[in-house]
Amino acid sequence: MANNLDKMIDEDELTRLAEQYGDFTRRHVTIEMQSTSVRHYKRVNESRRGEIVFALTRPDGAVLLHTKYSYPNGLYRLPTGGIDWGEPVAKTFHREVQEETQLPVRDERFLGVLSYEFTDGQRAVPFVSYLFHAGGVEGEPVPEDDSEGIEDFCWIPQHELADVATTLRSLDEDEEGRHDWGVFRAVSHELLLGLLR
C-alpha cells in the first residue's frame, strides 16, 4: 500500500507546495468498501494519480457546491477533478476551477493532502485527494463544457458542510456502490470544514 501511495504522492512536489502556500494538513483514512467499489477505484487509478477537491468561497464565506445529472436528486457536494499522471497538483487546481466554474481564482491556499486506503478485506487500493481553497470569489459559476455533467450550483454557509457530509454518509447501498462513494466523499467535506474555520 505504501509503495502505491508513493507513486501517487510526490514528496518533492509537496515540499514545493509548502514553500508556495505554507503549512498544510496530512490525513490518512481507511474505508471498508464492497469489492465492486474497490475494483472501480483501482481502474480509476490507471488514468489518474488522485484528485483535487476545491472549496471556493464568497467574501461572505459562503461555499460553492455543485450537483451532477448522475447524482441522487437534491445531492450537492464540493467540486472535484482528476489529476492526470504527470500533471502538477497546483496546475490541476487551476484547470479544474476553470473547466467546472470559469470563476477567477484569488487568495488561493493549499490546505492539505488526504490519502485513503479502500479495502474489501482482501485487497487494498490507494487514493489521494489534494484540498484547495480560494476565497473572495465573485460572480456565478458556469461550466466551461457540458461534458462535465454539472446540472446546478448553490452557495451554502460553511457550517452546512457538516450536513452535506451527513447526507453523503447516509446514502443507501446499491450495485453501483453509492454508499461507498458517499462515505468516501464525506471525509473531504468533514476535513475541509475544520480547515476553513
Note down the domain range covering 84: 2-196
Using 50, 70 and 90 to split pLDDT, how confident is the model at 190? very high
Pairing of strands 63-68, 150-156: antiparallel
Mean pLDDT of 111-122: 97
Q: How would residue 173 be classed by pLDDT, with cut points 50, 70 and 90?
A: confident
Over residues 52-81, the mean pLDDT reads 96
Q: Express as a percent the part of the chain with pLDDT over 90.
A: 90
Instruction: Check whether 110 has a pLDDT greater than 90.
Output: yes
Residues recorded for the chain = 197
CATH code of 35's domain? 3.90.79.10
Q: What single-letter amino acid sits at 54?
A: F
Total structural domains within the chain: 1
Cβ count near 26 (within 10 Å): 10
Query: pTM score, two decimals?
Result: 0.95
Q: Looking at residues 44-71, what average pLDDT do you find?
A: 96
Reference 1, options 25, 24, 29; nearest CA is 29
**Per-residue model confidence as pLDDT tens digits over 144-159:** 988 889 999 999 999 9
Question: What is the CA angle 56-60-62, rounded to 5?
Answer: 45
DSSP label at residue 121: S
